[in-house]
Amino acid sequence: MALYAPFRPLHNINWDSAKSGFIFRKRSTEPMMNRLGTFVSVLFFLGSLVAHAQVANDCVNAIPICTNTPINGGTNGIGIDDFAGAASTGCLKKTAEGTIELNSAWYRFKTGASGQLGFNIGFDSSEDWDFALYRSDDCGNLGEPVRCNFRDNSQNPKAFTGVGQDPTGSLDNFQYEDWLGVETGEEYYLLINNFTNTNSGFSIQFTGQIFVTDPDTALDCSIVEELLGPPVSACEGDTYILDASTTGVDAYRWFFDSGSGFQEISGETGPELSVTNSGRYRVEFTTDASNMVTSEVQVGFAPIPTANFISNDASCSGLDVYDLSQKDAEALGTQDPNIFAVSYYLSLSDANSGTNVLPKQYETQPGSQTIFVRISSINNPDCFDVTERFELINLESPSLNFPSEAYICEDGSSVFIGEERTLPNHTYIWDSGETSAGITVSTPGEYTVKVINSTGGVSCERSKTITVVESKAPQLLDVEVNGLQANNTIKVIASADGEWEYRINDGPFQEDNTFYNVAPGANTVTVYDPKGCGEVTEEIIVAGFPKFFSPNLDGSNDYWQVQGIDKLQDPKVYIYNRYGQLLKFLGANDTQGWDGMLNGALAPATDYWFQLTYIDEDGQVKVAKYVSNHFALKH
């Protein structure tokens, strides 16, 4: 006895105002519509129907499915090894038990149209289910599977595996294989394995574009031969008409099994039976030819959900992905999430058909979007509600591009901070109390502004703190020259209370205060405050002089002279003793330098000081700063 649940039974549906529900009549070519719309997937029932489940462990006994799929209350054993001890088939490998199959179930189906086909196998996320799909009409010649998945569900537990797309919208489910392209009349065998020895059953939902283009013929029902037709999947409150009408029959006997065995239904002797309860039904009758006929069918009624009001929400810039699952609780209200599933769509038609489901981690789009919500029964996706929707507003958060630092000078100046202009729909709140886009401040410190962008009752905000620092103008304290040589190096010493930038002559500013390969003679040095509090520029002389000399006429260090001043206009060197008395004057023509003689005698061995002057470009006499220094005379 195989149990089934339908995808889309081929029945008429008539509204019965007296019973406030739908009445289903079999054997029509019109597509089934539930009270809320149509759906394009196939799902068998779990829950109360599990007790009726029967599984085909062997390929030769594979349960045929078309518009309906089997009810399965779990698998147990393998029956006959359909792979004759093989080590693998596709991605499925031999288990510790010595066979590929483990707690297996076999099904077969035939395509009635061409297009894109997929399916979802649903199960308890604590269990591990695998599958292999074969394009074949012969169990003895299955070949390699066209789709196969053997992923371990314990590492990242999911509630679905299959072909196509996870119905929850999850994009990180590696238990899914690519969509399958099918042609009319192809036959398939589906092997489902349970890798855990205890299991609570599974469901199968057929999906894909083929069920949109050919909803009534996507799967060929000629492989199912049963008087009462394929199993029936309906919604609670519906009435389904079982029709066993056969010519030459006077009386029928109807039976019902809710899980404890078939019991005859008293008073039901006609060819039709109206059913409203889930269970298995049987009809028996004898024809004029004295042939005893028995036919059974499974009927399942799933609860109908009710979508609750869902509030609008906003996604601010910087939040590239919006988690739609946070709306599940609003949509369900007090309804059990283990009984009903929530999914989201961009159009009402998609929500009605269950196609193009949005991933729960939805990448936000510019502007405002209407998100349509579908709540469906997990046992029967044909029982659903799509009456609610909400607005997802991708409101741009304020863009705070102004600098986070500003500077004022010690001379009592002020600085403007914040935005230059007020943007539409934006509100500005400073911690100092101002409400303009920008403010002028004259005191160092931290200033925080909160900017709010509001549209349609939704607000996005962002805050930023601007640090205002007082800065002093730089001062040039010293210039160190490493002594005249082929490649002169100078180091500029400025006041320590600042982060300065330095430049020599007309070169670029730099943070390093050392310059290399400086030409001897006059150079211009600039120290600049990048915070805007001024700069200082001075002309310096790059020259060299010996730190000592010994005028003993031994041919070594007999003379002292400032070197590198030949390019200066009218350079003069004045030599002083420790008391500031001028002892010696060297002019431009004194190229040899001082021989250490004073008043006809050798000067005392001690330290001496000097000063260099020259004529600048304006014809003014200037003292060469940072060159004055001392040297020693040694005997």
- The span from the CA of 257 to the CA of 185, in Å, is 35
**Is the Cβ–Cβ distance between 219 and 67 less than 8 Å?**
yes
Residue 101: partners with Cβ closer than 8 Å, 6 or more residues away: 57, 78, 79, 81, 82, 83, 191, 193
Task: Give the residue among 336, 68, 70 at the shortest CA–CA distance from 202.
Answer: 70
What are the backbone dihedrals phi and psi of residue 303, each rounded to the nearest 5 degrees, phi first? -65, 150
Report pLDDT for 563. 85
Query: What residue has token string 């066993």?
Result: 244
**Is the Cβ–Cβ distance between 149 and 176 less than 8 Å?**
yes
**Is the Cβ–Cβ distance between 626 and 479 less than 8 Å?**
yes
- At residue 620, what is the residue type? Q
Residue 330's alpha-carbon distances to 125, 196, 211, 326, 565, in angstroms, are 23, 35, 30, 8, 87
- At residue 621, what is the residue type? V
Extract the runs of DSSP E, i.e. beta strands, from 456-556: 458-471, 476-481, 488-494, 501-504, 514-518, 521-528, 535-542, 548-549
SS3 content of the chain, % helix, strand, coil (to 5): 5, 45, 50
From 3.40.50.300, 3.40.50.720, 3.40.710.10, 2.60.120.380, which CATH number describes the 32-223 domain?
2.60.120.380
Query: What residue has token string 């982060």?
Result: 499
Task: Give the residue among 560, 311, 282, 329 at the shortest CA–CA distance from 456.
Answer: 311
Residues of the chain with CATH 2.60.40: 405-471, 476-542, 548-633
From 2.60.120, 2.60.40, 3.10.450, 2.40.160, which CATH number describes the 476-542 domain?
2.60.40
Task: Give the residue among 238, 492, 503 at the shortest CA–CA distance from 380.
Answer: 238
Report pLDDT for 95. 86
CATH number of the structural domain 548-633: 2.60.40
List the structure tokens of 103.
């707690």
- The span from the CA of 620 to the CA of 622, in Å, is 6
**Is the Cβ–Cβ distance between 166 and 158 less than 8 Å?**
yes
Diameter of the chain by CA atoms?
A: 161
What are the backbone dihedrals phi and psi of residue 222, each rounded to the nearest 5 degrees, phi first? -65, -15
**Is the Cβ–Cβ distance between 202 and 125 less than 8 Å?**
no
The CA-CA-CA angle for residues 493, 498, 500, to 5°, reads 60
Architecture, CATH, for domain 405-471:
Sandwich (2.60)
Residue 260: partners with Cβ closer than 8 Å, 6 or more residues away: none
List the structure tokens of 570.
């009218």
3-state secondary structure of 74: coil
- Report the chain (635 residues): mean pLDDT per 10 consecutive residues: 28 28 33 31 33 66 73 76 93 90 92 94 88 96 96 85 88 92 97 84 86 88 79 88 91 92 95 94 88 87 94 78 93 92 95 91 86 90 93 85 91 90 93 95 95 82 93 87 77 87 95 91 92 89 89 91 88 94 92 92 95 92 85 94
Give the per-residue SS3 of 126-155. CCCEEEEEEECCCHHHCCCCCEEECCCCCC
Q: Which long-range contacts (CB under 8 A, 24 or more apart) does 291-294 make?
A: 293/227, 293/246
Q: Which residues of 202-234 are buried (b: 16+ CB within 10 A; e: fewer)?
A: bbbbbbbbbbbebbbbbbbbeebeebbbbbbbb
- The span from the CA of 41 to the CA of 205, in Å, is 5
Report pLDDT for 23. 35
Report pLDDT for 342. 95
- The span from the CA of 217 to the CA of 114, in Å, is 10
Task: Give the residue among 122, 175, 127, 176 at the shortest CA–CA distance from 151.
Answer: 175
List the structure tokens of 429.
């709140």
Residue 348's alpha-carbon distances to 302, 305, 351, 353, 363, in angstroms, are 23, 17, 5, 9, 19
- At residue 405, what is the residue type? E
Report pLDDT for 51. 31
- The span from the CA of 262 to the CA of 281, in Å, is 8
- The span from the CA of 54 to the CA of 72, in Å, is 7
Report pLDDT for 72. 63
Residues of the chain with CATH 2.60.120.380: 32-223
**Is the Cβ–Cβ distance between 293 and 246 less than 8 Å?**
yes
**Total-model pTM:** 0.51
List the structure tokens of 406.
């500003």
- The span from the CA of 492 to the CA of 509, in Å, is 13
**Is the Cβ–Cβ distance between 70 and 20 less than 8 Å?**
no
- The span from the CA of 88 to the CA of 91, in Å, is 7
Residue 34's alpha-carbon distances to 53, 235, 277, 301, in angstroms, are 25, 8, 17, 12
- The span from the CA of 630 to the CA of 535, in Å, is 30
